[in-house]
């Protein structure tokens, strides 16, 4: 039997090195350290809130805001020629839902284009994306409504309370309908949301056209409806943001 001399090494395939047992605790520590380094790098490179809002505003089609401004201008040009308060209430009651309907295509854009999975896989969550978009729409619409209400109360005989009850209130209620449909578990289609808003516009028109019913509604009732609409709108936004985080956001692979 021949033995290899000192200059001839042993073949590695015949004498493999013993494998060291992997320690699960060490692996978890390595994964945690890698996650921490990755998140720290992403935090350093992330945008601040103003940069994020600006980037999201670039994806919003500006012609919808232009159409909203033209709608308010059309309402103002018509109600200034009316002497009958019923006609003024009808015009404002129909124009208020239309003001919100013009926002529906942008809010439903990612659902109608089947881009929900793509957006949920980005670095920013769906909660952050929708928060930015709702903030942009709320800011621009608030500016347009403020200019409209201020100009109407100054130049026309309408009081600010009339605008609150006859225009701002149906605007809030239409927003509640849209947000409720947008944040449903299965996602209501855009056409159905539009139909609900138009149905509400017809119902509201009939209410304000009935002089007996309109006069029976007291000031505390109008104030209560206004507060309830604002509260429910805030509730819809908060509930919807939780829904995006719970149902639609994708988890990281290492979770």
Domain extents for the chain? Answer: 24-48, 59-248
**Which pLDDT does position 68 carry in this prediction?**
92
- Given a cut of 90, whether residue 73 has pLDDT beyond it is yes
Does the pLDDT value for residue 8 go beyond 60?
no
The percentage of residues in the chain with a pLDDT greater than 70, rounded to a whole number, is 73
Tokens 């109600």, located at residue: 79
Q: Which whole number is the average pLDDT over 100-128?
A: 69
Under 8 Å between Cβ of 190 and 247: no
Q: Which residue has the higher pLDDT, 236 or 72?
A: 72
Query: Taking residues 126-134, what's their average pLDDT?
Result: 76
Residue 20 has pLDDT above 70, yes or no: no
Residue among 157, 165, 156, 160 nearest 96 (CA): 165
Confirm whether pTM is higher than 0.75.
Answer: no
Q: Give Cα separations from 14 to 7, 10, 11, 17, 148 (angstroms).
A: 17, 8, 6, 10, 88
Q: Determine the pLDDT at residue 251.
A: 43
Compute the distance between CA of residue 211 and CA of residue 21 in angstroms, rounded to an integer: 85
Compute the distance between CA of residue 64 and CA of residue 52 in angstroms, rounded to an integer: 21
H helices then E strands: how many in the chain? Answer: 13, 0
pLDDT at 41: 59
Predicted confidence (pLDDT) at residue 254 exceeds the cutoff of 50 = no
Q: Is the pLDDT of residue 98 over 60?
A: yes
Phi and psi at residue 4, to the nearest 5°:
-70, 140
């Amino acid at each position: 039997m021949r033995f290899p001399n000192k200059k001839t090494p042993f073949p590695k395939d015949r004498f493999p090195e013993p494998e060291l047992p992997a320690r699960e605790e060490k692996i978890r520590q390595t994964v945690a350290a890698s996650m921490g380094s990755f998140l720290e790098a992403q935090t350093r490179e992330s945008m601040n809130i103003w940069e994020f809002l600006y980037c999201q505003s670039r994806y919003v089609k500006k012609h919808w805001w232009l159409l909203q401004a033209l709608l308010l201008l059309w309402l103002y040009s018509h109600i200034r020629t009316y002497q009958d308060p019923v006609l003024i209430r009808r015009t404002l009651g129909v124009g208020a839902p239309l003001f919100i309907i013009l926002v529906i295509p942008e809010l439903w854009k990612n659902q109608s284009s089947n881009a929900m999975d793509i957006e949920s896989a980005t670095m920013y969550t769906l909660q952050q994306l929708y928060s930015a978009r709702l903030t942009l729409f709320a800011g621009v619409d608030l500016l347009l409504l403020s200019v409209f209400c201020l100009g109407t109360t100054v130049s026309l005989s309408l009081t600010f309370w009339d605008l609150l009850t006859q225009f701002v209130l149906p605007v809030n209620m239409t927003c509640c309908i849209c947000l409720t449909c947008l944040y449903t578990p299965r996602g209501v289609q855009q056409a159905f949301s539009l139909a609900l808003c138009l149905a509400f516009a017809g119902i509201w028109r009939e209410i304000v056209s009935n002089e007996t019913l309109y006069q029976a509604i007291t000031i505390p009732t109008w104030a209560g409806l206004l507060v309830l609409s604002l509260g429910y709108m805030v509730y819809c936004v908060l509930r919807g943001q939780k829904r995006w985080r719970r149902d639609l956001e994708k988890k990281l692979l290492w979770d």
